[in-house]
């Protein structure tokens, strides 16, 4: 293999690193400065004082509640995904019925449907069943739109389980359900954690469904809270940055501890 370092690409990637990192630095350093200091010295300056007041402001302005709501939505979405996707992927990979391969194409088609295309009917539907301004009303469509990509990822994992393993189970005269719980689930742990992390990320960052399906403060999620905070207190930039930072913390923690699962999910999203 070639060993000569590629200086051109190296310099280019360093410039891009600055473009990614400087905004993140400004964000973080801004949150620890007072409004006066931030305004006087400018965003790029190194902080000379240290305050946690901005975080306190963000939390007292309602972010505690928004966090709780987002956690509820995220847990709900992940639960639905974990309940529905493994049996579906199992059927797609192993079923001999022609309907199963049709269903797979149906979900592939679903990948291409943008959420915007259906928000008016979804709004109508959620209103009709009385779930408007209810967290469950956010959970259901968000979970539905996470299904196609999660199915794609998990059926990819399940395809790697070899036929011999199923044959081995045949000795016990195992039913499809037994094969599912004894063989398929244990061997798909990696894929299952990928779809859990991936759907959690989608739920945590979701904006459109909460925007159109909720209105009151008591059902507001973090992303909407940020938008609201920005329109109301756009002048208090350190406070705003603290709120943005808080909204990112859980995701960054997941990234730190489940990087592999996340990266695989994202690669699966585009690499197929």
Partner 1 sequence: MTTLATRRQAGPGGSTTSRPARPGTSSVGRPGFAWALPATIFFALFALVPLAAVAVLSFTSWSGLGDPEFVGLENWETLIADPVMLKSLWLSLLFIVLGVVTQTPLSILLGVWAAGHQRNRAVLSAIYFIPLLLSSAAISVLWRALLDPNFGLPGQLPWLFGDGNLLGTQAGAIGVLIFVGMWQFTPFHTLIYQGAAKGIPPVLYQAASIDGAGMMRQFFSITLPQLRNTAITSIILMVVGGLTTFETVLILTNGGPGTDTTITAFYMYQEAFQSFDFGVGSAIALVLVVVATLISLVVVKVSGYDKMNSSLEGL
Q: Contact letters (x/-) for partner 1, 135-174, by CB under 8 A?
A: -----xx-xxx-xx--x--------------xx-xx--xx
The CA distances from residue 194 to 81, 107, 112, 188, 255, in Å, are 11, 18, 21, 10, 12
Q: How far is the CB of 195 from partner 1 (least distance, A)?
A: 9
As a whole number of angstroms, the distance between CA 163 and CA 151 comes to: 20
Q: How far is the CB of 128 from partner 1 (least distance, A)?
A: 10
Q: Is 259 among the residues that bind partner 1 (CB under 8 A)?
A: yes
Q: Contact letters (x/-) for partner 1, 2-31, by CB under 8 A?
A: x-xxx--xx-xx--xx-xxx-xx-xx--x-
The residue written with tokens 């990320």 in the block is 201
Choosing from 135, 149, 153, 192, the residue that interacts with partner 1 (CB under 8 A) is: 192
Choosing from 212, 214, 219, 220, the residue that interacts with partner 1 (CB under 8 A) is: 212
Interface positions, 80-119, toward partner 1 (CB under 8 A)? 80, 82-88, 90-92, 94-97, 99-100, 103, 106-107, 110, 112-119
Choosing from 58, 77, 78, 152, the residue that interacts with partner 1 (CB under 8 A) is: 78
Q: How far is the CB of 20 from partner 1 (least distance, A)?
A: 6
Q: Contact letters (x/-) for partner 1, 39-58, by CB under 8 A?
A: x--xxxx-------------
Instruction: Taking the CA atoms of 226, 227, 228 and 234 in sequence, report the sign of the dihedral they define.
Output: positive
Instruction: Find the DSSP H helices in the chain.
Output: 7-31, 35-41, 53-58, 64-94, 98-111, 115-128, 135-158, 163-170, 176-179, 185-187, 189-205, 208-213, 222-233, 237-257, 259-271
Residue 168, token pair as written in the block: 């081995």
Residue 112, token pair as written in the block: 């291409």
């Amino acid at each position: 293999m070639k060993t000569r370092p590629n200086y051109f690409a190296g310099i280019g990637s360093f410039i891009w690193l600055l473009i990614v990192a400087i905004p993140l630095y400004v964000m973080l350093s801004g949150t620890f400065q007072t409004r006066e200091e931030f305004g006087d010295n400018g965003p790029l300056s190194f902080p000379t004082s240290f305050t946690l007041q901005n975080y306190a402001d963000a939390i007292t302005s309602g972010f505690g509640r928004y966090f709780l709501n987002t956690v509820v939505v995220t847990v709900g979405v992940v639960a639905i995904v974990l309940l529905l996707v493994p049996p579906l992927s199992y059927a797609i990979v192993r079923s001999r019925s022609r309907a199963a391969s049709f269903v797979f194409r149906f979900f592939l088609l679903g990948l291409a449907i943008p959420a915007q295309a259906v928000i008016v009917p979804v709004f109508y539907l959620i209103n009709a069943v009385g779930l408007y301004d209810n967290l469950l009303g956010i959970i259901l469509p968000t979970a539905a739109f996470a299904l196609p990509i999660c199915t794609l990822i998990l059926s990819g994992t399940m395809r790697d389980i070899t036929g011999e393993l199923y044959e081995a189970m045949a000795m016990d005269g195992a039913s499809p359900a037994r094969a599912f719980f004894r063989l398929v689930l244990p061997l798909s742990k990696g894929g299952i954690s990928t779809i859990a992390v991936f759907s959690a990320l989608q739920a945590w960052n979701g904006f459109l469904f909460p925007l159109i399906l909720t209105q009151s403060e008591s059902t507001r999620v973090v992303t909407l809270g940020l938008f609201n905070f920005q329109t109301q207190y756009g002048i208090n930039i350190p406070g705003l940055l603290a709120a943005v930072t808080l909204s990112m913390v859980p995701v960054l923690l997941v990234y730190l501890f489940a990087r592999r699962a996340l990266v695989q999910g994202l690669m699966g999203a585009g690499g197929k």
